[in-house]
């Protein structure tokens, strides 16, 4: 085969899609053949949801707020876990390559950084769907609560939270590439920094004014404020939806830039070949 | 030799990590369709040079082109046509050998991946191991998988960092024979870093000797053996590694470099 014909096979959308599929396949093999991995993805979201579910059962008879919105805490915890799983899905996909010492193989192949990131994001969605999907099933079985009863707004919340999780996950992947596996804890803990200002279980208005100013710069604060509006007033707040979407564009660009910057650093320091467990 | 005759051209290539100069203004060319050895003791700069040729490491100064493309700037134009093995990389251990190879078949865009995987598995004596988890293999078996991955895309340039280091003499010999046949069939260019001097004498048309990041000598194995007045490459290697080069070959590159 001549060189031009061979090169054609490596360029264009179909070739890119095939390489993204390769990243998915590599992690898909890992997940789908291990029931313990699948169980561990569902474990934390399910246990947290069960705790909040029983708390709701305990408080609901004497609490007007929970009488009006009995699924409030369960919905909040499921959406928070979606954000967490979205971020973790991106970071863990990258960490797996570190442990396997496979980064050198990947980045000497025709795989580009945007294609690798696309694969990470797709894996993150799969991990989030498995983890939070399992918890949603248990929420229905144990508490007769279906988050799908929220309807269309759920898709808007889902998209915005997943996108923000991806942004944080990309930035954390970059930091791990920059600092090494010693920074692996970042992948697990980083998201909790934004928990207080996300207003998962309480409105942003309870925060001190200076913290409110910070909160409105975080997409998840708009999502959870929007969720409260849907559950308590039955109103979908487009203003919060668009604010979260615009902020997500910024944070995704920032996360990708941090990852790309770290990749340049790794190419300068030679760590793509040397890094491992 | 013109640039068109060369698959790899390295000009004044340097790499520093802070104050440490790992590779110092190295220049060489590798003729198309030949096998060249990159020799030197530990820390001589072999892996650093190979990493720059693979686009995994950005040079501090100088140029490296592979198949006419600048590395690392134009790496995506040439990466589909090259491949490598290295003791510094590994593969996912929980995936089977077949799964690992199918992932790389997708990455390299193979048209008939199943057929090609079966072919390289046969060539590298892996046919019975395709369903085994990669992590359950012996070091020698893993090396063969790494070699199978390296030839999966039928590369025009193959960079091999100690490709037979953990193989027993029998399997090592079979792998060398396979690489020789592969080169004969495809016209592939190979750059080989090795500590196995028998392998170098058998496989290599040219040898580039590195010491402390500089090229101290180069030539065909036969020329080097004759020039140093030695019996084999093992003795030539020891002369260079132990700094006996100046007393044996006055006016050598190492002597000039030291000056």
Are B109 and A19 in contact (CB < 8 Å)?
yes
Q: How many CB pairs under 8 A join A and B?
A: 107
Give the best residue of A93, A99, A100 to mutate against chain B (max B CB count within 10 A).
A100
CA distance A63 to A71: 13
Are B91 and A112 in contact (CB < 8 Å)?
no
ipTM over 0.95: no
Reported as type and span, the H/E element at residue B10 is strand B6-17
Q: Which of B225, B191, B164 is nearest to B240 (CA)?
A: B225
Q: What is the pLDDT of residue B256?
A: 47
Mean pLDDT on B242-259: 58
Q: Identify which of B48, B82, B89 has the shortest CB distance to residue A105.
A: B89
The confidence band for B259, taking pLDDT boundaries of 50, 70 and 90, is very low
Q: What is the pLDDT of residue B59?
A: 96
Q: Which of B125, B139, B148 is nearest to B168 (CA)?
A: B139
Q: Which of A251, A262, A234 is nearest to A83 (CA)?
A: A251
Using a CB-CB distance cutoff of 8 angstroms, which residues of chain B are in contact with residue A103? Answer: 89
DSSP class of residue B69 equals: E
Is the pLDDT reported for residue B3 higher than 50? Answer: yes
Q: What is the pLDDT of residue B243?
A: 76
Is the pLDDT reported for residue B117 higher than 60? Answer: yes
Q: What is the pLDDT of residue B96?
A: 96
The confidence band for B257, taking pLDDT boundaries of 50, 70 and 90, is very low
Q: Identify which of A10, A33, A276 has the shortest CB distance to residue B109.
A: A10
Q: Identify which of A9, A21, A100 has the shortest CB distance to residue B92.
A: A100
More confident: B1 or A268: A268
Domain B33-244 of CATH type 3.40.50.300? yes
Nearest chain A residue (CA) to B47? A273
Chain centre to alpha carbon of residue A123:
10
Q: For A48-72, write each residue's pLDDT tens digit.
A: 899 988 988 888 888 877 777 778 8
More confident: A25 or A33: A25
Q: What is the pLDDT of residue A6?
A: 56
Residue B216, classed as helix, strand or coil, is strand
Using a CB-CB distance cutoff of 8 angstroms, which residues of chain B are in contact with residue A24? Answer: none
Mean pLDDT on A112-134: 94
Is the pLDDT reported for residue B251 higher than 70? Answer: no
Reported as type and span, the H/E element at residue B214 is strand B214-219
Using a CB-CB distance cutoff of 8 angstroms, which residues of chain A are in contact with residue B54? Answer: 108
Q: What is the pLDDT of residue A262?
A: 95
Domain residue ranges of chain B, discontinuous segments joined by +: 33-244
Are B80 and A9 in contact (CB < 8 Å)?
yes
Distances from the Cα of A159 to the Cα of A87, A248, B243, angstroms: 13, 10, 64
Highest mean pLDDT of the ranges A56-60, A148-152, B77-81, B161-165: B77-81
Q: What is the pLDDT of residue A5?
A: 54
Contacts with B181 (C-beta within 8 Å, 6 or more apart), sequence order: none
Q: What is the pLDDT of residue B108?
A: 93
Are A267 and B58 in contact (CB < 8 Å)?
yes
- Average pLDDT taken over every residue of chain B: 90
Share of chain A above pLDDT 90, in %: 61
Residue A18, classed as helix, strand or coil, is helix
Chain A positions touching chain B (beta carbons under 8 Å): 3, 6-7, 9-10, 15, 18-19, 21-22, 25-26, 29-30, 33-34, 96, 100-112, 264, 267-270, 272-274, 276
Q: What is the pLDDT of residue B250?
A: 59
Using a CB-CB distance cutoff of 8 angstroms, which residues of chain A are in contact with residue B49? Answer: none
Mean pLDDT on A206-217: 96
Reported as type and span, the H/E element at residue A244 is helix A238-269
Using a CB-CB distance cutoff of 8 angstroms, which residues of chain A are in contact with residue B108? Answer: 109-110
Task: Looking at chain B, list the stretches that DSSP marks H as alpha helix, in order from N- to C-terminal side.
Answer: 46-54, 75-78, 97-107, 113-123, 139-151, 169-186, 197-203, 221-228, 233-241, 245-248, 253-258
pTM of the model: 0.89
Cα-Cα-Cα-Cα torsion A143, A147, A150, A154, nearest 10 degrees, comes to 160
Q: For A175-204, write each residue's pLDDT tens digit.
A: 999 988 888 888 888 889 999 999 999 999
Q: B252 — contact with chain A (CB < 8 Å)? A: no
């Amino acid at each position: 085969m001549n060189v031009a014909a061979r090169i054609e096979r490596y360029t264009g959308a179909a070739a890119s899609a095939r390489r993204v599929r390769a990243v998915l396949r590599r992690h898909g093999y890992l997940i789908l053949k291990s029931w313990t991995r699948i169980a561990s993805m569902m474990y934390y979201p399910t246990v947290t949801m069960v705790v909040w579910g029983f708390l709701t059962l305990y408080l609901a008879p004497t609490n007007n707020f929970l009488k009006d919105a009995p699924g409030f805490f369960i919905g909040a915890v499921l959406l928070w876990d979606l954000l967490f799983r979205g971020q973790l899905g991106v970071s863990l996909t990258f960490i797996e390559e570190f442990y396997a010492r496979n980064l050198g193989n990947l980045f000497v192949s025709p795989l580009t950084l945007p294609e690798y990131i696309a694969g990470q994001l797709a894996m993150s969605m799969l991990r989030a769907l498995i983890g939070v999907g399992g918890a949603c099933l248990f929420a229905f079985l144990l508490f007769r609560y279906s988050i799908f009863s929220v309807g269309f707004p759920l898709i808007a919340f889902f998209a915005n939270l997943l996108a923000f999780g991806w942004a944080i996950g990309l930035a954390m992947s970059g930091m791990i590439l920059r600092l090494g596996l010693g920074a692996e804890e970042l992948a697990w803990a980083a998201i909790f920094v934004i928990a207080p200002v996300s207003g998962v279980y309480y409105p942003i208005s309870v925060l001190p004014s200076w913290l409110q100013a910070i909160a409105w710069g975080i997409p998840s604060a708009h999502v959870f404020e929007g969720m409260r509006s849907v559950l308590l007033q039955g109103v979908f707040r487009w203003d919060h939806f668009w604010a979260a979407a615009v902020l997500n564009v910024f944070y995704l660009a920032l996360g990708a830039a941090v990852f790309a910057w770290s990749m340049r650093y790794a190419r300068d320091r030679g760590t793509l070949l040397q890094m491992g467990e | 030799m013109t640039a068109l005759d060369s698959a790899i051209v390295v000009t004044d290539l340097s790499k520093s990590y802070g104050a440490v100069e790992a590779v110092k203004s190295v220049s060489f060319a590798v003729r198309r369709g030949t096998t060249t050895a990159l020799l030197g003791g530990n820390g001589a700069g072999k892996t650093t040079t190979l990493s720059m040729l693979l686009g995994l490491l950005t040079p501090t100064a100088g140029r490296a082109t592979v198949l006419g493309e600048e590395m690392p700037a134009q790496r995506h134009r040439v990466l589909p046509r090259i491949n490598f093995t290295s003791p510094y990389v590994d593969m996912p251990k929980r995936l089977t050998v077949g799964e690992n190879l199918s992932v790389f078949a997708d990455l390299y865009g193979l048209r008939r991946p199943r057929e090609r995987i079966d072919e390289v598995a046969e060539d590298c004596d892996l046919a019975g191991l395709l369903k085994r988890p990669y992590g359950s293999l012996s070091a020698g078996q893993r090396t063969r998988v790494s070699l199978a991955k390296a030839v999966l895309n039928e590369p025009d340039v193959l960079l091999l960092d100690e490709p037979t280091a953990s193989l027993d003499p029998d399997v090592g010999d079979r792998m060398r024979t396979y690489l020789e046949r592969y080169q004969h069939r495809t016209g592939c260019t190979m750059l080989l870093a090795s500590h196995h001097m028998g392998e170098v004498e058998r496989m290599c048309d040219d040898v580039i000797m590195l010491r402390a990041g500089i090229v101290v000598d180069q030539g065909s194995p036969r020329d080097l053996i004759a020039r140093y007045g030695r019996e084999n490459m093992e003795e030539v290697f020891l002369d260079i590694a132990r700094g006996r080069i100046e007393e044996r070959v006055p006016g050598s590159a190492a002597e000039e470099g030291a000056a």
